[in-house]
A and B are shown apart, each in its own frame.
Chain A
Amino acid sequence: MKQAELVRLNEVSLTYGSNGTRCEALRKINLSIGSGEHLAIVGKSGSGKSSLLNMITGIDHPSEGEVIVDGTTVHTMKEGPLALWRGRMAGIVFQFFQLIPTITILQNILLPMEFVGVIPKKERRERALSLLEQTGIFDHARKLPSELSGGEQQRAAIARALANDPPLIVADEPTGNLDSANAEIVLGIFRGLVDAGKTVVVVTHERNLGKEYSRVVSLKDGMIVGDEWSRP
């Protein structure tokens, strides 16, 4: 059964540089992502995977085309409202975790809640601790990021991405920097999120994609060259 559309990209192109050094990162991309999908974006280095992810989160704007997420035209939004929208709608997980190094893990999770303000003040701390428990790093709540292993940091980054309970989670090679055991833990968390109804979009190099993801979109030279559904 086709699920309700959460993300839509219409004729999206992204071009960097001027005439001499012109680089087409994305070419006329049309993509629809339904709510609850567990989508993998794959392709070789430089194929446009991260650029596509940046389109969805509004981190980058298309040179041409439209990006609509949950009815919001992301590509037309200004920087301020876009940051707030992102905090509310899209949790981002980076390959290198990107936690704020000077504050504790718990505070890293509370910070986006404070930015966006959708979670009532009284509930924030409890929610943050619950997310840490959910990701298996409750005991590290009061530690600084540097005191955690890579896998633990990535789980903290996922907890942060979930802080404002966004319907969409995007992750740019979230296991690329982890050993297999930690990678498995992270993938397990994503599976749990999908089961809970979240939409998870992951840029990855993983193999055994069919087993892990419901849909795999392949990119080459900025174009979609494959779109396979592994699970109806």
Chain B
Amino acid sequence: MKYQILKAWKDVTEGKGKSLLVIFALALGLWGLGSVAVSWSVLSRDLKGNFLGTSPVHAIFTLKEKDDSILDTLKARGEIESAEFRDLKMLRVEVYPDSWIPLWLFGVGDFENMALAKIVSESGAHKPSRGSILIERDGLLISALTISSVASVRNGARNIEVPVEGIVFDPALPPATQDHFIYAYTDMETFSTLSGAESGKRLIVRFRDVNSRSEVEAAVAKLMADSGSGGIANSTVEVRPFLEHPHQWQLDMLLAIIGIIGLLAFLLSSILVGQVVAALVAKQIRQIGILKAIGGTRARIAGIFSVYLLFYALISGLIAIPLAISTGYAFSYFCAGILNFNILTTSLPAEVFALLIVSALVLPFLFAFPTLIKAGRVSVREALGETPFRHRTRVTGRVVVTALATALGVAIFSSGFNLRQSLSNFLTSTGDSMRYDIQVVLTKPVPESEFLEPFESISGIERIEAWTGGRGELQTSLAGTDDGIGIVALPLDSRVMAMKMAQGHWFESASDPEVVLNQAAVELFHQPIIGQTLSVGIAGVSRQMKLVGIAEEIDRPKIYINDAFYDRWANPAHLVNTLMITARDGEYQGVMALKKEIERAVKASSLSVLDVMSQAERVKIIADHLNIILIALLLLAFLVLSVSALGMASATSITVMERTREIGVLRAIGATPRKIIKIFLMEGMATSGAGLILGLILSWPLSLAASVLFGAIMFGEGVVLRYAFSPAGFWITIAATAVFGFLASRIPAGGAIGLSTREALAYE
């Protein structure tokens, strides 16, 4: 074996340029695969790990009457694993001067012995003293609050100054940065003082031996039906999604993106490696003939190339594996930062290492396998007397593979832009669907005239509509069905509502109850069809309503109904809690100025306001939710295009290498270096052009498929994002492919003139 190994080693070290190209291609593929594997492993375990580490609740009961003995009663029951009081009230907090956002204030029964929905102290006090609060760490990123600062909290018409004594981490909640909330924790007495609400009425419960949401629902039903369960029987209950983080969908989306695009990038680099190895073996075809002529069997020759590949595998593995671990972790930390969870995985599982090592050692053989088989089969006569026809076939094959790889890169890159356009259109349509500028929400419904009075003197207001219920999670608690789905009751002739309909139309009948669902509600009603009559529990009575439309909306599950029917069924005094305000000056600055004026009017009034939010801010919240996905999408799409450009560069390098002697002949008969470069450049650009055209054609079905997939991941099964063509993406794709195509041809073509005419003619 000694001289066979020696030959392989010499082949690796003698042809440094070729070897570097193979190692680079292998390392690139392995790096892509490894980064995906590492980040996949870390992210999929750690978001779950963070969330489960809090001991998440299964159900939340809100008691009608305070019952001090309820905890003992519940804890004595065999099916209850744990139960605690965890009060919750939505207030407002000033995050910057004259800038207020919702504050979720939790009242904690016992900071020392939390068994459910646990929080972790990060700095400062781990238990707030009377009259002070702890802040969830993500809130620091969207406010000026910090330890020892004093938060200005507003409860209805009251302003209260509350010291911040500590920072905690609560990985079970949606990230504050995305939802634009501040989460705060205090003891139950302070909770009562700040919120004005009675504490000890909100119970969080975790059941023993339940494995699904339906099992939790069954356990809840059983508990509520049991007369021995105290005040629970008369409480309202909310069953939480079973052991699922509120933003699990975002992570699922990210994992889907890195999984799909990472694998496609890997596929491209495998084509690249296969191509480079095939070219190297082809370059050695004469040597294969010689080896066979002097007694080398097929197995021996395969052995030499195996040693050859093993060198490449080891070197590329040594480069790519540590790099993949670093970038995999870096990406994980990036996602964890945005989704507000900690990376817990300090050492990767053995199977990830095994995957990386096996990939490093096996993949080169896998990519090169067809070539090695072909090389082993070639006869001595063929190997020693290679005909021009075979050479031409090989070159044509490489051009086709390169064009296809470029097409794949272009298709993914372009689809990334189209998908981004789809999401952007979705966002714009969400913004356009609500033709209001500012929304004012109260903590509880009041008569319409009382609500309108403080704003009557503001000249910047063009129009006001009063609604019951409204958009967002906050308002679901103010107006909802008996099953906890948010109700938005608005006038039949609303002029601020123009939602884009996925199916059907907006409600229009004044005489018959009609309902419009948003996409999230469709799932809860088990995929109903337009025209179907739905039974909806409102104020304890089942109401029959005709489903007339499904609206495109990113929001909590909501149903939209004519307020005349809602008032008749559940709101006879026509109390309202939401004002939809249109500004005279609809530009951003004008709206912001009007918002400040409204905030001043609110401050001077006795209204118990939960939130004042501009539409621009609302769109920003949704945009923040999608931003991480869009960034990841474009970065990975760019990576894919870069990999395909590298494929093009390697193909041109190989062509240059193979045609060195031809270059010598061309120079001998008078071709200038510039002319030679031009030949390779034109060939490269023609391949790029073919790949570009094919890729742009391919991007259409790919974008359609991506819209279906991402719509389903983001909004649930059956919800599709509309395909959108991105003109900017189209031109960027063309420009990027042209630039990459030029560089990928020009740089290797430069190598064609590196040798002297004599060296080029003598090249073997």
Contact = CB atoms under 8 A, between A and B. Distances in A.
Contacts of A60: 379-381
B381 A164 contact: no
Contacts of B73: none
B604 interface: no
B431 to A, nearest CB: 66
B548 to A, nearest CB: 72
Interface in A95-152: 98-103, 107, 110-112, 114-116
B202 interface: no
Interface string B363-407: 000000000000000011100100000000000000000000000
Interface in A77-108: 79-81, 83-84, 86-88, 92, 94, 98-103, 107
B764 A103 contact: no
Give the interface residue-count category, chain B. Answer: 20 to 34
B3 A103 contact: yes
A103 B291 CA distance: 13
Interface of A: 54, 57, 59-60, 79-81, 83-84, 86-88, 92, 94, 98-103, 107, 110-112, 114-116, 160-161, 163-164
Contacts of B381: 54, 59-60
A85 B192 CA distance: 97
Interface string B16-47: 00000000000000000000000000000000
B10 A102 contact: yes
A107 B6 contact: yes
Q: Dominant SS at the A interface?
A: helix
Contacts of A116: 295
A79 B298 contact: yes
8 contacts: A54-B381, A79-B297, A81-B297, A83-B300, A98-B290, A102-B7, A111-B4, A115-B295
Contact of B298 (A83, A87, A94): A83
A83 B286 contact: no
Given A59-B293, A59-B381, A98-B290, A111 B7 contact: yes
B299 interface: yes
Contacts of B293: 57, 59, 86, 92, 94, 98
B287 A80 contact: no
A142 to B, nearest CB: 13
B295 A112 contact: yes
Contacts of A163: 294
Contacts of A100: 7, 287, 290-291
A103 B10 contact: yes
B84 to A, nearest CB: 74
Contact of A101 (B6, B384, B764): B764
Contact of B3 (A83, A92, A111, A161): A111
Given A110-B3, A111-B4, 18 more contacts: A60-B380, A79-B298, A79-B379, A80-B299, A84-B297, A88-B295, A92-B294, A94-B290, A98-B286, A102-B11, A103-B6, A111-B7, A111-B294, A112-B294, A114-B1, A115-B294, A115-B300, A161-B294
B1 to A, nearest CB: 7
Nearest to A54: B381
A59 B4 contact: no
Give the 4 A-B residue pairs with the shortest CB-CB distance, closest first.
Answer: A87-B295, A102-B10, A115-B295, A112-B294
A88 B296 CA distance: 11
B7 A83 contact: no
B17 to A, nearest CB: 14
A83 B296 contact: yes
A87 B294 contact: yes
A100 B4 CA distance: 11
Nearest to A98: B290
A98 B384 contact: yes
Interface in B246-294: 286-287, 289-294
A59 B292 CA distance: 9
A11 B295 CA distance: 27
B568 interface: no
B42 to A, nearest CB: 43
A59 B295 contact: no
A80 B294 contact: no
B14 interface: yes
A161 B293 CA distance: 10
B526 interface: no
A127 to B, nearest CB: 14
A60 to B, nearest CB: 5
A59 B290 contact: no
B2 interface: yes
A99 B10 CA distance: 14
Contacts of A102: 7, 10-11, 14
Contacts of A111: 3-4, 7, 291, 294
Contacts of B287: 100
Given A103-B3, A107-B3, A114-B4, A59 B379 contact: yes
Nearest to B15: A102
